[in-house]
Each structure stands twice: as structure tokens, then as C-alpha cells.
Structure 1
Amino acid sequence: MTTDTPAVTVGVDFGTLSGRALVLDVEDGRELGSAVHEYTHAVVDRTLPGGGLKLPADWALQIPQDWRDVLRFAVPSALADAGVRSSQVIGIATDFTACTVLPTTWDGTPLCELPRFAARPHAYPKLWRHHAAQPEADLIVRRAEESGQRWLARYGGKISSEWQHAKALQVLLEDSEVYAASDRWIEAADWIVWQLTGEETRNPCTAGYKGVYQDDAYPDAAFLASLHPDFADFTAKIEHPLSSLGSPAGKLSPAAAELTGLRAGTVVAVGNVDAHVTSAAARALDPGHMLAIMGTSTCHVMNSDVLAEVPGMCGVVRDGIVPGLWGYEAGQSGVGDILAWAVRTAAPHEYAVEARRRGISVHELLSEKAAAQPVGGHGLLALDWHSGNRSVLVDHHLSGLIVGLTLDTRPEDIYRALVEATAYGTRTIIETFEQAGVPVTEFTAAGGLLKNTFLMQTYCDILNRPVNVLAAEQGPALGAAIHAAVAAGAYTDIRAASAAMGRLERHAYTPDPARAAAYDPVYAEYRALHDHFGRGGSDVMHRLRALRTDTSTTTPPASNC
């Protein structure tokens, strides 16, 4: 290629509400064009499409056609925005939310697209934030403890309700016909690659972190049978040779070429997870360099040359982020979602009026007012569990809490307390790593919340360490495009591609010593509340959730007959 026609790659990031495509110059990672496609159905958490069956609490489904539409609309639009021809594209890669999983037939057809299963909720993809499988997750942990399963320690001693086995077991227990009809049970990260190449592949990231794949094996049939006799065959639904991250999954099929506007035969990279692929975008691949992808939720990922048992982690996987290192994952189930809740529920009408008059968002107005307060000035302390706790307690039946409310409490007080609570949650995760012997030497942030400078400085002060930031708006798509360059042979490995194409601003935020010192005693109070409500001091949150569940809709029936 000449400099007038640079070689490019396409990265496609499938998020919770939309998908985005990014076109990058392979030589230096320069962004040439991008496009976003909003999912038509967004998150299906109330009723099935078309006014169908009402869903119970904690359900979250998606529609596969929404994902195909990202390929149909966003990819051609990004190419047009970049002003490049399909002949310049040497590779395409995708990333997905994890664990978003779906049951399919042998050829990859989602069961929800078959007429006989269209009204069956369990035939639909379960989004990562589908938390209705907590009883199944609890059962998996109990049986693993009873039988001494060695892999349990790799996940901090607990299995999440978000993960493959818990969600699949829920399908078996609540709609055995759908379970029996599911020839394949697959992560959306691998399913979308199947749509592009026409061939099934599996990646080690989702297999390790969400599929309990450790030491070259899934849990054995005897263990699965201890959960339910009919679950003994589950591994057959997910088992497939794993392909290394950054390697080719195959070539773009003629059907996918027509869908995307790319050339048939274009290299397609192995699938990946949105958070983990962002490590390459942020040049956060060295041992000890933690990356926090901060959006509706936050995922913390980090490579290490140390293998340790870290309580409450979402997993440690060999080659899970880059080949040759142990990749750790932790996370917070709600961050941006919690702040959005505060705007919806705690900000009165006059705040919206003021924000509109000044041409800013209510988030910006609340952040501005909150930033004017001293540490502890609002007299509040919150627990950031509105969507449950992923790390380090791994309990999605916990709930949010605000202590210290008075008749003088203002919306900005609540907003600031919630921002601080999410930062305390991240500090808890970092300290848990270090107490387990896995040092965190550097901290980088990425994601949509980087736009909130008050929030970022608060994190910096509470963590009391410099915070780097990803110098790109679309980190996952950038990371995917970097992986596409490796798969296409433009770089020898992910590290080399990251060094050339990644974007990182070091020490974008530095801690204020006075604020950092003032936060320490408040953080100690957070940890006291955290342990009291999260480690057995009081089970009131579970009892209240059970009461709510008992008085809400029941589990969907197995059929609509």
C-alpha cells in the first residue's frame, strides 16, 4: 500500500445498548472513521418483543438481529466516514460484553429465531447483567466446595450468576425443552465471529473467565451431574478447540462480505471481551498495570507473572489477555448505572431546568455542585451495590445503601456519595489484589466515565495514586482493531501492535495529598459497612430481595400453551 492508500483494520465493539465500528490506520493506530448503531431492542428486561411474556426481576435478554444490524449498518458507515475502500481493509476483529450467552442449533441459529421457541424467554441470549441465576451460582459453589474442585480458587472461591454454567443450569431447571434443543451454548463474542466466517471458533478469554476452563479442561461430567443429572452433558455444548487471542479465526464469508461491505476473504480475528481487548488499546499489558474500563459497570483487568488465589476475583486465566501471562479480572456490577439512577431519582425538576438553561447535562450540574464540597462535607456514606456486588463479594443479591440522610441532604450530596462509593469499591479490589501477593504498580482508566473530570479526580484522591487515561474514546473498538492487525500479519504479536497503535496519557490525574488523607478514615467506615452487610453481619439485603421477588412476577412458564 502507498501512503495514499494505507492498510486499515476494522474493530467492532458490541456493547450493552449499541455497537460501534472503528477504522484504524495499521501503521500508527490513527482513527480514520467510525460509526455507531443503536440496538433496536436495547435490553429486554420487561417483556419479550411484541408485547410478549412479562419477565421477572433480574432478567436481561437481547436480540441477535440487533447484533447483525451493527455489521450491516455500522461497518459500511465507518468505512464511508473514513473514506477508505474495502480493498484497504486487511482484517476485522470484534469484541463483546461478557458473559452474554445464547443457545443455538448446530449451525449457529439462535433458538429464539425458531418459531416454536419465539415465546420462550430461555431461548433468547442472556445479557451479562442477567442476574436471575444466583440460586444456580450458589449451588455450583456449594457443590464445588463439597467436592474440593481445584478450579474454584482461580475464581476467588465463588462463581458468578453472570457466568455460563449458572445461566445454562437455570435454563435446564426452568425450561428443559430449550436446554435439550440447544446443540451449542455459546458466548456472543464467539457467535458473532461465527456469523462473519461461517465457522465456529472459541476464544480462551471467555472460556477461561466465564466458562470455568482451567488447566486445559472444563469441570468434569461427575461434577456437572452433581448439579443435576441432565447437566452432565453440558460440556458437549461448549467444547471446541480454543484459538489464541490475536490469531485468525478464519476468512470473511461471501454472505458476511455482502452484509458488511467488506471483501470476502478478509481476515477475521478470534473473538474477545470488551474489557480485556481494551488492554491493548491502553498499552496496559505489562505485569502489574491495572486497567479499569469504566462505564455502566466497571471491569478491572491486569496481567501478572504471578499466579495467586485472590478472593472474590472474576478469574485468573493463563493467556487470558495476552499469551504468556496470567490475566486477572475483577469488576463492579454498577458504576455509571448508579449515577444515572441518582439523576433519575434524586435530582428535582429545578435541577433539570437549570442544566437546560446553562446548556449542560444534569450529570455535569451535579458534578459541579459536588466538586465544591470538602471531603466528608455531605455527611453521607454509600455502598455501591445497586446492581449487586461482583468483586470482591460476588453476590448479586446485595443492594445499595446510603447512610446519613437528613432533611438537609441535597441531590449533589447523594451524587457525590455515590461517586465516592464506586471509588471505594475499586480501592477494595486493588487492596485485595495486593494483600493476595499480586502487586498493582500502575492504574489506567478507560471508558465513558473519563468525560467526568470530577469523578476521575475523586478516584485519584481515594486511590491515592496517579491515574493514567486511555487517550481514545472507543477503547474496545480500538483494541479489537489492534487484534485485527495482528491476525492479519501486520505485527508479530499483540504487544508490538499495542506499542504502535495504542493510546495512553500517563498521569493525567495526580492525587491531592490533603484530600487523599481526608478520605482514609471515610474509606475505613466504608469497609466496615461493606463487611457488615456483605460478609454476614446482617442478611437484611437478601431478605428484602426475597420479599420483593415473592411479591413480583413468577418465573416464566416453560411454554405459552
Structure 2
Amino acid sequence: MYSIGIDYGTESGRVLILNLANGEEMATVVVPYRHGVIDDVLPETGEPLPPDWALQDPDDYIHVLTEGIPAALAKAGIRGEEVIGIGIDFTSCTVLPVTRDGIPLCALPEWRRNKHAWVKLWKHHAAQRIADRINEVAAARGETFLSRYGGRISSEWYFPKLLEVFEEAPEVYAACDRFIEATDFIVWFLTGREVRNSCTAGYKAMWSEEEGLPSDDFFRALHPSFTQPAEKLGTTFYPLGTRAGYLRPDVADMLGLTTRVAVAVGNVDAHVSVPGCGVSEPGTLVMVMGTSICHLTVTKEEIRLPGITGVVKDGILPGWYGYEAGQAAVGDMFAWFVQHAVPGDYFAAAEKAHLNIYEHLERLAARFAPGETGLVALDWWNGNRSILGDADLTGVIAGLTLASTPEAVYRALLESTAFGTRRIVENFQAHGVAIRDLAACGGIAHKSPLLMQIYADVCGLPVTVRASSEIPARGAAMFGAVAAGPEAGGFRTIQEASAALAPPVLRVYQPNGAAKSVYDRVYAIYKDLYEMLGQSRVDLLHALKRIRLDVTGSQRI
């Protein structure tokens, strides 16, 4: 028997078929989004989008299903009748307004010209002013829910984006019946049933099983007319591993599957990676590395600590409290550097050596010893998610001289992401969450041995990489097998599935003591800059961003 995992990332969707007998990945198909990330102009009108907007087209998500699943079945050489389950994971909080029938508003001709009718991607940061208001009002009122999220919520979350629509496009708010996480939208499309998952509700919508949503009074304090906070969200959420339903007949025919395929409730791309890595107990910090990094771990008892993005009961694994922290720019920061700051002769040299540009830069960067570049960077190209929770922070490179080379800057950027992770590890450890080792997954973990060794050396912890480059899709497939259940050839629990199907260890990177001692010195400088520019003199970077937004806005008038 087989299960399908579908991992919806920022730029593409991955469809993986997992053999439930032996854990073999039978086939993987990557389907790029045809419209990509929409952050420049609205496709229908050419209207320039304001700064910090990031939209997507939900048709791209359906295209991942209709192209990816049949292609994966053909590539694997298996019949649709042999598939028993499907699991979905998605970037979060990625949300869209839909009708009562689950049709995206932007799919309707009368709404395609309104930018608020489109999918708002996780990294849509234009609602930061609303996130700031939520934090200020919650703190002033002494709202207890805020401590579950390290004292701050982010513009990336559900209610900042919903209130942005409510205030800026009330006509869109009135027209949509639901404002729904994209992972739940796909489950609705597959099954014909709206079944919302508890994971995104807990981490991104300020909901908990014990307390529900924050009070109506709190939301009225945010906006006196916002009197029904659950109106577009609902109040019923289902635990991870729950069977949302089965494929509806027309979708089953379209995908080459059967109506006996169980569909698991939706999940988050990072969170499915914990069982996908074979992690089922405390002590390991899982790093899901892509355009950004999510850091995930679990404990038996709840510990509320500052600087995280959330702690949710059963949020990652049943029976445990799951913690999330993260860095908002990693792979996309490296991509920015390659696209905007690498001279043409480096590309020519890479081509001559039969390498891609990242491989070429990594070879050059590996020639530097720790500390040899004389550079240190603050990894805030897309704001700071943890510890500071400030989307208005921007990146910094310190120590540049006329002798600084592109490969030196590239290495400094690599190191900056490791320093950011060390800051997160230290925060966990200082508040009683033990971290003994790191587990890295995602394409970067396989493609950049240099970066993995830097993480081990900077953090002083071993880093384990598993023999699968598609851990999120693999984890999603495991949840699909749990939704199918043992009666269909699946599993009772996600822990059982993880124990049976975790991929073997590919490599463990051990910290080098000499390298760590040098990195300790560089990290001390990083931390001083971090605290100054992110806390005591945060006004400096905020002012630079405000000037840019003011000038950009005046030029568009």
C-alpha cells in the first residue's frame, strides 16, 4: 500500500508517493507554481502592489494536484487503487477568502481585480501595523493568550491578515463566507468538506483547546465594529492525523485515484517534518530549512517562554506540547545575494566548472577559516521572527572593506543564519527547554555541507541529516497513512508511522572545538549588534524602512 504526501512550498508543490511497507520513496514530482509569488503587480490589472505584499493564485495549488499526482503515479509505476491516503502540508499562515462552496473569490470575474480577494502568502507583511496593534492591546489588557506566543504575534498570522481585509476591503470581507488556511482549502477541494485543522488554529489564529479564541471584548478593543472574530474562521478544529474525509468522486477520477483514499486534515509544512525526521521525543530541535527556517521541538509539560512563535498542546505530536520558533530569511536571502550581488564572471566560472552558482560560491566560501572574512551579518532580510518578532527589521552586513569579496559576503550570510539559530537555541535552553542536538531537513540540508558544518560549529551541537530531501512531503504522507488507519493498511498513530517509516541517517555533522571557539568570538559581536539594532536602537532600522516606504509611496501617487 502507498500514501501520497503533498508539500506546498513558497514557489512550488511537491508530490511524493511513499511505500508503507518499507518507507521507500517511490516517486517525487515537483510542480512549480505558474504564477509564482505575486509581489510586484496584480496579474489582472497590472496595478502595482504596495510594499510588503505577497499574493498567490489558488489555481496554482490545484494544478499541483492535477499535474503532480498523475505524473507521480506514472513515475512510480503504481495503480491508483493501491493508494490509501493523502496528507497535505502548506506554508502558514497562507490564507484566502472563499465562498460558502469553497470557491476562491479571486477565481470569480467580479473579484479578480481586487488585490484583497487573492491568496495572502505567509510572507505577506503588509499587516504589520495591525499585528503591532494586537500586541499593544493584548499587553495593555493583560491578555493571557499572548504568553503562548512569546509575548508577540506576527503580521504573518491569521487575524492581522483578516483585519487588514476587514478594514481596507470591507466589500471583500462581506463577500467571503470563509477566510481559510490554504491547507484547509485543499482538503476542502479534495473531500468536499470544510474540516479545519487545530495546528494552524493554535499557532496562527491564537486559539487553544482549553481557552478557545481570545474574547470578543478583546477583538472589539482592536476595532469596535469587529464583533464576530470567529465569523470567517469557525470554532471547530480537528487534531492532526484526523481523517477529514475521502476523495470526492469527480476529484478521484481527475487524479487517477479512488474514492477509498482517506484525506488527513491539513498541516503546516514545518510541523509535518518532525515525524518525517523520525523525531518523537524531547531534546531535538528540528530545523526545516527552505526560504525561511522553522525550529520545532516538544516537551511533556508546557513552558511559556519569550521569543518563540508559539507553544500548542498536540500542535506537532499528540501527547506533547509543540514549540515553534523561526528565522524569516534563509534560502531567499542567499537567492537575493545571487540575483543582485554576484558579478557575471562568477557565473561564467561556475558554468566552466559544471557547477550551479550556489555550488561554486560554496566552494569558494569553504576556503575561509571561521572568522577569516572579518564580516558579520544580521540575518533580517525579511524581518526577525524569533526572538524579536519584528517584521520591520532589515538586514545588516558589518566589517566590509575594499578587500571584501563576494564569496566572503556569501560566507558571512551563511554564518548569520547559524548565529540566528544559536540565539534561538540559547533562548530555549535558558527557559528550561533542553536542546541536545539539531536535525536539519529541506533542500539546503542536502545541498550545503558547508552550512551544516557551520551550524554544528556555531551552536556546538551535532547536526543530523536524514537520507531524504523531501522530509515535509514524507511526513505529510505519514499523516495520510494515519488517516487511512490500520484497517486499510495504514497506522494507528503518527508516532507509529514515524518509527516504521523514518528515513535512515545520511550524515551527522559533529562540532569542531577550534572552530567553535572562534565562532564564539564572532557570535559575541553578532549578539551585541542584535541587541543594539534589534532592541535598544531599533529606531535606526525602523527609520530606514519608514523613509523607503514614504519615498516609494510618494512616487506612486
Q: TM-score range with shorter-chain normalisation?
A: over 0.9
Any conservation in 2 of the 1:23–1:33 contact (CA below 8 Å)?
Answer: yes
Match of 2:67 in 1: 73
Residue 315 of structure 1: aligned partner: 310
Task: Tell me which amino acid in the other structure corresponds to 1:293.
Answer: V
Residue of 142, 154, 171 corresponding to 1:148: 142
- 2:44–2:113 CA contact under 8 A, matched in 1: no
Match of 2:380 in 1: 385
| Structure 2 letter corresponding to 1:540 | L
Task: Measure the CA separation in 1 of the matches of 2:537 and 2:432.
Answer: 27
Aligned residues: 551
Within 5 A, what are the aligned runs for 1:542-561? Answer: 542-553=542-553
Alignment match, 1:158: 152
Looking at structure 2, the residues matched to 292 and 413 of structure 1 have their Cα atoms a distance apart, in angstroms, of 25
Measured against aligned partners, the alpha-carbon deviations of 1:293-334 in whole angstroms (never above 9, x if no partner) come to 111110111111131122121100000011111000001000
Which residue of structure 1 aligns with residue 476 of structure 2?
480
For residues 348 and 292 of structure 1, what CA distance do their matches in structure 2 show?
Answer: 31
Structure 2 counterparts to residues 354-365 of structure 1, below 5 A:
354-365=349-360
What aligned pairs does 1:21-60 form with structure 2 within 5 A after superposition? Answer: 21-60=15-54
Query: Is the alpha carbon distance of 1:506 and 1:359 closer, same or farther for their aligned partners in structure 2, counting shifts above 3 Å?
Result: closer
CA distance in 2, matches of 1:87, 1:477: 20
Which secondary structure does the structure 2 equivalent of 1:116 belong to? coil
Which residue does the alignment assign to 1:497? 497
TM-score when normalising by structure 2: 0.97
1:456 corresponds to 2:449 = no
- Aligned structure 1 segments of 4 or more residues deviating by more than 6 angstroms: 554-557
Post-superposition CA distance 1:20-42 (Å, at most 9, x none): 11111112211111211111100
* Counterparts of residues 270-419 of structure 1 (less than 5 Å): 270-419=265-414
- After the TM superposition, which residues 95-110 of structure 1 pair with which residues of structure 2 at under 5 Å, given as runs? 95-110=89-104
Counterpart pick for 1:123 among 94, 117, 120: 117
Helix, strand or coil for the counterpart of 1:74?
Answer: helix
Moved more, 367-376 or 45-54: 45-54
Shift of 1:433: 0.6
Change (3 A) 1:504 1:547: farther
Q: Match of 1:292, as an amino acid?
A: M
Deviation of the 1:112 alpha carbon: 1.2
| Rounded Cα–Cα distance in structure 2 between residues aligned with 1:180 and 1:288 | 46
Structure 1 residue matching 2:232: 3-state secondary structure: helix
Identity %: 47
2:313 counterpart letter in structure 1: R
Mapped contact 1:121–1:556 kept (Cα < 8 A): no
Q: Confirm whether residue 248 of structure 1 aligns to residue 266 of structure 2.
A: no
Task: Say if 2:2 is the partner of 1:16.
Answer: no
RMSD value over aligned CA atoms? 1.5
Residue 516 of structure 1 is matched in structure 2 by 516
TM-score of the pair, normalised by structure 1: 0.96
Q: Distance in 1 between matches of 2:555 and 2:243?
A: 41
- Structure 1 counterpart SS, 2:349: helix
Change (3 A) 1:198 1:216: farther
1:200 to 187, 194, 205: 194
Shift in CA distance, 466/412, structure 1 to aligned 2, threshold 3 Å? same
Q: Is the 8 A contact 2:84 2:260 kept in 1?
A: no
Counterpart for residue 224 of structure 2: 229
Give the drift of 1:555: 12
Give the C-alpha shift of residue 52 in structure 1: 2.6
Structure 1 letter corresponding to 2:241: G
- Partner SS, residue 131 of structure 1: coil
Counterpart of 1:137?
131
Kept in 1, the 8 Å contact 2:199–2:239? The answer is no
- Per the alignment, residue 540 of structure 1 pairs with 540
Q: Is the 8 A contact 2:466 2:507 kept in 1?
A: no
Aligned 8 A contact 2:436 2:461 in 1: no
Q: Which of 83, 89, 97 matches 2:83?
A: 89
Output the amino acid matched with 2:455. Y
Q: What whole-Å deviation, never above 9, does each CA across 1:151-193 have from its counterpart, x for those lacking one?
A: 1000000010000011111111211111122211110011100
Query: Structure 1 residues 540 and 126, CA, compared in 2 at 3 Å: closer, same or farther?
Result: same
2: CA distance between counterparts of 1:207 and 1:169? 16
2: distance between equivalents of 1:71 and 1:554? 42
Gaps of 5+ in 1: 1-6
Inter-partner Cα distance in structure 2 for 1:275 and 1:555: 39
Cα offsets for 1:513-559 (capped at 9, x unmatched)? 110111101101100000001113241111111111111148999xx
Q: Label 1:234 to 1:255 Cα distance change in 2 as closer, same or farther (>3 A).
A: farther
Please point out which of 207, 211, 218 is paired with 2:205. 211
Give yes or no for contact 2:127–2:161 (8 Å, CA) kept in 1. yes
Cα distance in structure 1, aligned partners of 2:81 and 2:531: 57
Q: How far is the alpha carbon of 1:260 from its aligned partner?
A: 1.5
Q: Deviations over 1:409-439 (max 9, x none)?
A: 1001100111111000000001001111111
3-state secondary structure, aligned to 1:78: helix
How far apart, CA to CA, are the structure 2 residues paired with 1:555 and 1:469?
48
Q: In structure 1, how many angstroms separate the alpha carbons of the residues matched to 2:69 and 2:27?
A: 10
Alpha carbons of 1:538 and 1:32: their partners in 2 closer, same or farther (altered >3 Å)? closer
* Alpha-carbon spacing, 1:349–1:556, altered in 2? closer, same or farther (3 Å): closer
Matched, 1:259 2:259: no
Question: Could you say if the C-alpha distance between residues 554 and 244 of structure 1 is closer, same or farther in structure 2, counting changes exceeding 3 Å?
Answer: farther
5+ residue gaps, structure 2, are none
